[in-house]
Amino acid sequence: MKNWLGARLLGVLFLCLAGVKLVGVEIREGIDYFVLKTPVPNAENSVIEVYSYACPFCFKYSKILPQIIEKLPDGVEFRPYHLEQKGDYGKVANKLFAVLLVKDKRAGIGASDKNSSFYKAESAYFEEYHINKNRWKDGKDPQGFLETGLKAAGISESDYLQALEDPEVKKLLKAWEASYDIAIIQGVPAFVVNGKYLIKISELKSLDDLGEKITELLVR
């Protein structure tokens, strides 16, 4: 997986958090965004974030994403796609996140809602990994990793294991297989609009810039 952006992205995040607004954004294919050769199926009217619990930039973006999500037009869905190939426990995280997202959806709770089981588990992993530097025995304790998320989400392991057999959970995990082909283009986090437009992160200048590009690409 490419390690990209570095200091430049940190500068972008600073501008985002500072609320700098740019006007007159010109959206240019190949410069501001790429068109995916293989679009994500059934992803019209959506904004997909491909990310990993083990990605430091994904952790930083998680602090500002709610500001983007809350401004999405009516009918546009935000969809988190977790990348199983990154982090010692990527596959474990994928399964748990998929279970929680399906559970929340059936309860009418969005992925970015702070009361959602998904949000609670994701936040717990981000905090443990990036702030507390927990590595769960350097990749040798998948059970401990799983229990961290289950505890944060407030569900039992038996309910989790039963939910893994749910067709909707399996369908979601299948959809997430597209994450790797997207991530190898420029790393993570990666934002895909309408299943086909991949925003070029290195060209972002502010949080408003990201929001404006998403808005523009949604109507293309």
Could you say which DSSP state residue 29 is in? B
Write the CB contacts of 160 (distance below 8 Å, at least 6 apart in sequence): 96, 99, 146, 150
DSSP string, 49-65: EEE-TT-HHHHHHHTTH
Question: Which pLDDT tens digit goes with each residue over 70-103?
Answer: 999 999 999 999 999 999 999 999 999 999 999 9
pLDDT (tens digit, 9 = 90+) per residue, 123-174? 999 999 999 999 999 999 999 999 999 999 999 999 999 999 999 999 999 9
Query: Which pTM does this prediction carry?
Result: 0.88
Q: Residue 189 and residue 56: Cα distance in Å, rounded?
A: 9
d(CA 85, CA 190): 14
What CA–CA distance (Å, rounded) separates 73 from 147? 36
25 — pLDDT class (breaks 50, 70, 90):
low
